[in-house]
Amino acid sequence: MAVPFINILASSMGGIGFGEPTDGARLQKVKEANGIPFYAGRFYPKNNKSIIADLLDGLINSDTPPWLTNKVLDPTQIWMVPIFEDERIVSTNTIIERIDVWPRLPEDDNPNPAYDEDTIRHTEAVRDGWGAVTFGGTFGTDTFGNSIDPGLTVTQNVVPPPFLLGYLGISEISGHVSEYGFYDHEMHIVNHRSYGQEHLTDDLYEHIRIREDGAWKRKSAELIFDIKDDDEEGYPNGRAALPENGWSRAEYPAENYQNWVMGGDLDVNRTYGNQYWDFFTRWEGDALNGRPKAGLIQLYPSKIDTICLTIKVSCQTIVVPDTIPADAQEFLDDATAGARENLGNNLSNNVWYFYWPVRLDMDHSGERLQYFLQRQGINKLDDPNYYPPSSVL
């Protein structure tokens, strides 16, 4: 079997390092939630820390902060080495297999759960792929290159130096952690003819909540912009109790989560975020006849502040005898013994799991808000000829 090479300076040099002592209680909660029995170490992208800070922390890292979303990784390798003398590594199989919420503890500033697994919001997101790789489906190896996250790419079987061929199995992770794991972003839109939307004929206010489980819409006779209230099952009910002011997805049915996720394109992440948000906010017409689709826009970031990516690594190995005996019978005996050893290796625990905490970087959320403020219809109230800059169309 092959085992991971543990780098004591992984938090600066990159790769697999020891788990952080401060991660222990949170990691235990992650294991209880996802059923993974054992994490053999923590994955560190290159330059998570400076080498000096890493050295000062000693052999076991003490408190390395989580990686940040949308921060581009220097390609970081995971090394596997054979444990038996006659064993050789044939190939690696590395997968970023699942995403879990990194638990909050009582001593945290906000110890409340980041999400509720019993709500429609969570169940719809999980149904559409969030949480664990779905092999052979939309998510997983077919689309994202052995990664559940669309911003990350895993490269298998990176060629080692010639003198280490067979003795070192290398896979490499590159790209960036997207906001796919932070699924509960939300956009609110209020449309009304008094918000620079003269083309609207209905005098009612139109409220739209764009969530991971689709776009919910209602009309009301009054402006109610603070509409973040949900019932116990996660369905929006706002503050209006009248049936005619209720929320409905009939016009915009539940959208598959993958279609509105903040994904792999960093330029899109910092502007309109995803195609779904773009659809509801993009202006119609040209500079002379431009019509805003959204009157007022407000963004709510994810309540999830940190996630935990699970990386699964295994290797295919063979056993190569040191010498080829001259006697045919002796060679047969050796080959048979090698086959038995190889079979035993691959039937044993040859699968390893590593964890990787990642925190939501709010910089892109702020950039998106500024971007959408330029698309609001209310800009026409001060300037009837207003048209968004070309960069936001």
Of 163, 183, 149, 308, the closest CA to residue 257 belongs to 183
What is the spatial distance between Cα 288 and Cα 290, in angstroms, rounded to a whole number? 6
- Which 3 state secondary structure label does DSSP give 206? strand
More confident residue, 121 or 139: 121
What is the percent of the chain where pLDDT is above 90? 35
pLDDT at 337 over 80: no
Supply the pLDDT for residue 15: 93
Confidence of residue 332 (pLDDT cuts 50, 70, 90): very low
pLDDT at 326 over 60: no
| The model's pTM | 0.85
More confident residue, 57 or 233: 233
Separation in Å, CA 149 to CA 123, 139, 156, 183 = 18, 9, 16, 12
Supply the pLDDT for residue 221: 83
Of 227, 221, 216, the closest CA to residue 202 belongs to 221
Q: Are 377 and 295 in contact (CB under 8 A)?
A: yes
- Which 3 state secondary structure label does DSSP give 174? strand
pLDDT at 380 over 90: yes
- Which 3 state secondary structure label does DSSP give 368? helix
What is the percent of the chain where pLDDT is above 70? 80
What is the spatial distance between Cα 262 and Cα 391, in angstroms, rounded to a whole number? 19
Supply the pLDDT for residue 140: 37
Confidence of residue 142 (pLDDT cuts 50, 70, 90): very low
pLDDT at 121 over 60: yes
Confidence of residue 331 (pLDDT cuts 50, 70, 90): very low
Query: Region 89-102: what's the mean pLDDT?
Result: 90
Placement of tokens 């509409």 in the chain: 227
Strands 67-68 and 351-359: parallel
What are the domain boundaries of the chain? 2-181+305-358, 186-301+366-392
Supply the pLDDT for residue 56: 54
More confident residue, 336 or 30: 30
- Range of weakest confidence among 16-25, 83-92, 206-215, 361-370: 83-92
Those residues with Cβ within 8 angstroms of residue 88's Cβ, 6 or more apart along the chain or in another chain: 82, 166, 167, 317, 318, 319, 320
- Range of weakest confidence among 103-117, 288-302, 349-363: 103-117
What is the torsional sign of CA 155, 156, 159, 161? positive
The two three-digit tokens of residue 156, written as one number: 């298998």
Span 185-196, pLDDT tens digits: 899 999 999 999
